[in-house]
Structure 1
Amino acid sequence: MPRTAMVVTDMLNPYQHRDAEQLQQGVEPIVPRLAELIGRARKRDDVDLIYVNDNYGDFAATRDDLVARALEGARPDLIEPIVPPADCAFLPKVRHSAFFGTSLEYLLRQRDVRTVLLAGQVTEQCVLYSALDAYIREFSIMVPPDCVAAIHEDLGRAALRMMERNMSAEIVQARDCLAQRSLPARSQAR
């Protein structure tokens, strides 16, 4: 049976970088909805929960290290509700796309994933580039706009529009993601 993977991107952030304050403003409203969507994903047998997170240049950093740094950072309140469960896949990354230099594609193919549900930050950067990489690998894409955060609101809206128009992404609110309706099948015609 084709599966869906919910890929949570770069949510373990210590918020100690340029644009951090601006990004936090975009992250604050998505955390409750994202935490709820993660909870629903965990209850579904046909959904794999996968975290992909920047390692911030520390190639020895483990999942626990990245969680600890984020919790010790400027906004632990944005981290606590979405800490990755111990039983979900966790892949460190070094560039914008969740696919670049990671084993994400291999993992998705091994689990017969057809649809990638992208959530996290930053909409106009890592989410957009991950969507493009998912699209060129012929995965269907879902993006809940209320579970992604932008640094620049206008660029975030433009990125969502690009994903929808150019990558056939289904832009759907979190409440409608992983509903009991069937998830989108892999599109044969692009």
Structure 2
Amino acid sequence: MKKTALIVVDYSNDFVADNGKLTCGLPGQQIEDYIVERIEAYNKKQHDIFFMMDLHYEENNYHPESNLFPPHNIIGTVGRELYGKVNDIYQNILFNDHIHYLDKTRYDAFCGTSLDLMLRERNITHLEFVGVCTDICVLHSAISAYNLGYAITISHRGVASFNPSGHAWALDHFKNSLGAVVE
């Protein structure tokens, strides 16, 4: 029997809200209800949900992203909080044993985090990814998941980007290069 976990990647105000520091805006907002549906489905079955959140500091000039993107997801700011209804549902379920919130400092949710260890401790073999951005953090996380031997599912209804062509390319890459189920 396969055990599945939901991985919610970077669904923060800075990446989704209209006034976010590095927002994908409307495309990110349009996937909100689908992400909430998936969280509710996993929570109802008490299946593991991992909220993987980008973490940066105000003075962080050594970080590779500092040359590529404006400062975003700064610790202690509203921009780093989960966006909208996803934040609301998280606040209602956060004290359950199957709910996990992990900071990440790179695009890849596995790099420098305990995600792989926690998944293996729970005998999880299949990952469903939702969140933003399809062609950056979701992509890099899915590549690591593939390289670590996890089966992957990604719905086009649950991921978004500020780059439409990058989004389309990543969905194709998930399916054709990572063997992911892309719905």
> Into which bin does the TM-score normalised by the smaller protein fall?
0.7 to 0.9
Distance in 2 (CA, whole Å) between partners of 1:90 and 1:163 is 24
Structure 2: 5+ residue stretches without partners: 59-73
Match for residue 128 of structure 2?
A: 117
Note if 1:40 corresponds to 2:49: no
Equivalences, count: 158
**How do 1:29-178 and structure 2 match up within 5 A?**
29-45=30-46, 47-57=47-57, 69-70=78-79, 79-83=83-87, 84=90, 85-86=93-94, 87=96, 88-172=99-183
Distance in 2 (CA, whole Å) between partners of 1:24 and 1:67 is 22
- Give me the identity figure in percent: 26
Contact 1:3 1:48 in 2 (8 A): no
Match for residue 29 of structure 2?
A: 28
SS class of match (1:164): helix
Q: CA RMSD, aligned part only? A: 2.3
Match for residue 4 of structure 1?
A: 4
What TM-score comes out, normalization by structure 1 length?
Answer: 0.76
Specify whether residues 97 and 43 from structure 1 end up closer, same or farther in structure 2 by C-alpha distance, changes over 3 A only: same
Note if 1:17 corresponds to 2:26: no
Deviation at 1:68, TM superposition (A): 6.4
Distance in 1 (CA, whole Å) between partners of 2:76 and 2:28 is 17
Deviation at 1:66, TM superposition (A): 6.2
Distance in 2 (CA, whole Å) between partners of 1:37 and 1:50 is 12
SS class of match (1:36): helix
Contact 2:21 2:79 in 1 (8 A): no
Deviation at 1:121, TM superposition (A): 0.3
Structure 1: 5+ residue stretches without partners: 59-64, 73-77, 173-190
> After TM superposition, where is structure 1 displaced by more than 4 Å over at least 4 residues in a row?
65-68
What TM-score comes out, normalization by structure 2 length?
Answer: 0.79
Distance in 1 (CA, whole Å) between partners of 2:151 and 2:76 is 29
